[in-house]
């Protein structure tokens, strides 16, 4: 539930992402601009949440952490079907659009993280 | 931040002793992310600034299957012909400036590719040019024997063994590493043409060669692998396919990526000054996360790189410095990419105007499949896909419903597949008549009736490195 300290907002308000295919699997990398935002992502962007968003079994979602990049990498196993992108009938056979789809996920995001300074694009600063 | 300066000095000294001169930083640019990428990328890399090595990555998994098919029709085909067209534009300048070119354009026929390049070089008066060829990656003729010898080629996605599927096998290529390319460079190759190899190895090879690294320099090889991973998709690290797209300027003249490599393994990702696009920690992070699984174990033929060790530093406009990369010894296997024949498919599209565009699109698809059923043409649930583009095809099922309102129009996209080519052909024949015998306003039927094309199933597997024999040959264009 949204509270005075949080606001229901898409993940894309605080994060950037890129997706692609790896055989039958899709991967989505998500990263944020600050350690506070990263702590929030680690806590709230759980495999179960991502699985529900894409309507796939939670057992098919692996999450890997890259603290050095303030990033998490999701692997959605088997979502592109046996045989991978080259055998798929879909428009998005190579999961190019999955990152866009994940960034629409609505979360109760702390208002402090939604301040302009913490929002993408993060054109300044090192990792 | 770690800066392995002591080892850097050692490596630089060793390389200097070996060759007399070390170019540091070494400039490696990648001008092609896949077959079909623009020719403007590599031309800009060559013509708009300094460069030592130009790499060109032409091979996606599906590309190999297409090339196999081409070679079956014509034994002299099976390589990326775009490469020869590109060389016609840039070869004289590259040769004169000493820019060496490394390309996996050989596809499934690297020697034929080298023949074509040799003929072109002769026409351009480039006597003395040395052309390296790396092959031995192709296993398709040997898979049966290797299976008999105990190699399972277990599908890395599904866990199935290949033996029962051998009759459907179309191609099998091992991803070779950097060292055969290094051998060709050491033998003076101005151009190195490979078949299937790890994409990142195209970048690892020139850096390892110039700095005199050994196969045991795991951290530095891992760093060069990371560099290769960042630039292997061309403009995807210089502003292309980037979520922060509003910050990207100069799209029309987007610069292709350049790595400035140092002997200690650190490097800077950049592009030529004056080109469009954007390089910053975010565009680089995006590409680091592209098509990876476990970031602690990024596997190539050369090394296992740990992506959680990477440190990115803002190094000024359009420059990102990368340090701290760790790696460990590579695995005893090569990845093998196989393709299997899996029937035929066709895709057709119609534009459906509103009002009620989504409902009319669904009805149109139902009518089509009902008519096919009357002709005893059936597609199972897994053999047909109806997508209503404009009504949420690119949304996750859990996205807010508010996005899917009443679109003014949608594109109905129908795809079918079958072991029966005739059934797929019938689908193509029935589509057009819906314009006059379906719901009102159907339009946008362009490009003729959908024709059946082969479905090729990708089968990723592993094979013992000892079972594969990379070959290196260097030829000289006659004076």
Strand partners, B352: B410
Separation CA B203–CA B184 (nearest Å): 14
| pLDDT, position B15 | 42
Of B310, B339, B385, the CB nearest to A90: B385
User: Which residues in chain B are contacts of A31 at CB distance < 8 A?
Assistant: 282, 285, 289
| pLDDT, position B3 | 38
Q: Is A57 on the interface with B (CB under 8 A)?
A: no
Confidence of residue A23 (pLDDT cuts 50, 70, 90): confident
Structure tokens at B101: 């070119």
| pLDDT, position A1 | 58
Residue by residue, DSSP assigns B329-359 as: PPPSEEEEEEEEEEEEEEEEEEEEESSSHHH
**Where are the strands (E) in chain A, listed by range?**
6-10, 15-22, 25-32, 61-66, 71-76, 106-110
Q: 10 Å Cβ neighbour count for B81?
A: 17
The DSSP output letter for B307 is G
| pLDDT, position B399 | 83
User: Which residues in chain A are contacts of B314 at CB distance < 8 A?
Assistant: 124-126
| pLDDT, position B2 | 37
Quick: pLDDT tens for A43-79. Answer: 999 999 999 999 999 999 999 999 999 999 999 999 9
- The secondary element (H helix, E strand) that includes residue B45 is helix B40-47
Nearest-neighbour CA in chain A from B439: distance (Å): 24
Chain B: residue whose CA lies nearest to A92? B394
Of A22, A91, A120, the CB nearest to B389: A91
pLDDT per residue rounded down to tens, chain B (479 residues) = 333 333 333 344 444 444 567 899 999 999 999 999 999 999 999 999 999 999 999 998 778 878 988 998 999 999 999 999 999 999 999 999 999 999 999 999 999 999 999 999 999 999 999 999 999 999 999 999 999 999 999 999 999 999 999 999 989 999 999 999 999 999 999 999 999 999 999 999 999 999 999 999 999 999 999 999 999 999 999 999 999 999 999 999 999 999 999 999 999 999 999 999 999 999 999 999 999 999 999 999 999 999 999 999 999 999 999 999 999 999 999 999 999 999 999 999 999 999 999 999 999 999 999 999 999 999 999 999 999 999 999 999 888 777 777 899 999 999 999 999 999 999 999 999 999 999 999 998 877 889 999 888 899 999 999 999 999 999 999 98
Nearest-neighbour CA in chain A from B276: distance (Å): 16
3-state secondary structure of B258: strand
User: Which residues in chain A are contacts of B455 at CB distance < 8 A?
Assistant: 83, 86-87
Interface of B with A in 212-231 (CB under 8 A): none
Pairing outcome for strands B53-56 and B100-103: parallel
Rounded to two decimals, what is the model's pTM?
0.93
Q: Do A84 and B457 touch (CB under 8 A)?
A: yes
């Amino acid at each position: 539930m949204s509270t005075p300290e949080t606001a229901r907002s898409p993940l894309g308000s605080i994060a950037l992402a890129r997706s692609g295919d790896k055989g039958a699997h899709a991967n989505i990398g998500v990263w944020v601009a600050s350690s506070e935002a990263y702590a929030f992502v680690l806590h709230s962007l759980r495999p179960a949440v991502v699985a529900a968003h894409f309507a796939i079994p939670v057992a098919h979602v692996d999450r890997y952490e890259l603290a050095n990049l303030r990033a998490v990498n999701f692997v959605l196993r088997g979502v592109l079907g046996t045989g991978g992108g080259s055998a798929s009938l879909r428009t998005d056979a190579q999961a190019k659009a999955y990152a866009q789809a994940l960034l629409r996920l609505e979360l109760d995001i702390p208002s402090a993280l939604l301040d302009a300074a913490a929002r993408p694009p993060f054109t300044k600063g090192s990792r | 931040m770690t800066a392995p300066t002591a080892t850097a000095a050692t490596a630089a000294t060793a390389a200097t002793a070996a060759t007399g001169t070390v170019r540091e930083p070494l400039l490696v640019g990648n001008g092609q992310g896949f077959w079909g990428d623009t020719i403007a990328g590599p031309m800009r890399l060559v013509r708009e600034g300094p460069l030592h090595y130009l790499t060109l990555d032409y091979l996606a998994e599906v590309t190999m299957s297409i090339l196999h098919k081409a070679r079956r029709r014509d034994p002299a085909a099976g390589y990326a012909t775009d490469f020869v067209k590109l060389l016609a534009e840039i070869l004289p300048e590259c040769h004169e400036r000493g820019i060496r070119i490394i390309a996996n354009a050989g596809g499934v026929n690297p020697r034929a590719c080298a023949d074509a390049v040799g003929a072109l070089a002769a026409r351009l008066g480039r006597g003395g040019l040395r052309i390296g060829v790396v092959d031995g990656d192709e296993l398709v003729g040997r898979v049966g024997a290797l299976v008999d010898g105990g190699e399972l080629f277990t599908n890395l996605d599904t866990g199935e063994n290949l033996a029962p599927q051998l009759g459907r096998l179309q191609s099998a290529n091992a991803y070779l590493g950097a060292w055969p390319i290094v051998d060709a460079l050491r033998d003076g190759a101005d151009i190195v043409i490979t078949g299937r190899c790890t994409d990142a190895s195209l970048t690892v090879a020139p850096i390892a060669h110039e700095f005199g690294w050994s196969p045991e320099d795991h951290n530095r090889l891992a760093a060069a692998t990371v560099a290769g991973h960042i630039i292997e998709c061309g403009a995807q690290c210089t502003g292309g396919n980037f979520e922060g797209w509003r910050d990207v300027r100069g799209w029309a003249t987007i610069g292709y990526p350049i790595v400035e490599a140092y002997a200690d393994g650190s490097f800077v990702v950049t592009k030529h000054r004056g080109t469009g696009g954007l390089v910053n920690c975010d565009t680089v992070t995006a590409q680091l996360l592209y098509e990876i699984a476990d970031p602690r174990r990024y596997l190539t033929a050369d090394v296992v790189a740990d992506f959680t060790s990477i440190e990115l530093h803002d190094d000024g406009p359009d420059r990102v410095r990368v340090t701290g990369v760790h790696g460990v010894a590579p695995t005893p296997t090569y990845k093998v990419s196989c393709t299997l024949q899996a029937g035929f498919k066709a895709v057709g599209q119609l534009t459906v105007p509103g009002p009620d565009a989504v409902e009319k699109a669904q009805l149109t698809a139902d009518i089509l499949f009902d008519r096919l059923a009357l002709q005893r043409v059936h597609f199972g649930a897994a053999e047909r896909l109806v997508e209503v583009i404009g009504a949420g095809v690119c949304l996750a099922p859990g996205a807010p419903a508010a996005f899917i309102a009443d679109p003014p129009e949608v594109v109905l996209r129908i795809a079918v597949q079958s072991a029966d080519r005739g059934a797929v052909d019938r689908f193509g024949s029935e589509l057009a008549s819906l314009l006059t015998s379906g719901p009102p306003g159907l339009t946008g039927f362009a490009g003729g009736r959908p024709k059946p094309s082969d479905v090729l199933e990708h089968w990723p597997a592993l094979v013992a490195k000892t079972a594969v024999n990379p070959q290196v040959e260097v030829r000289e264009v006659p004076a």
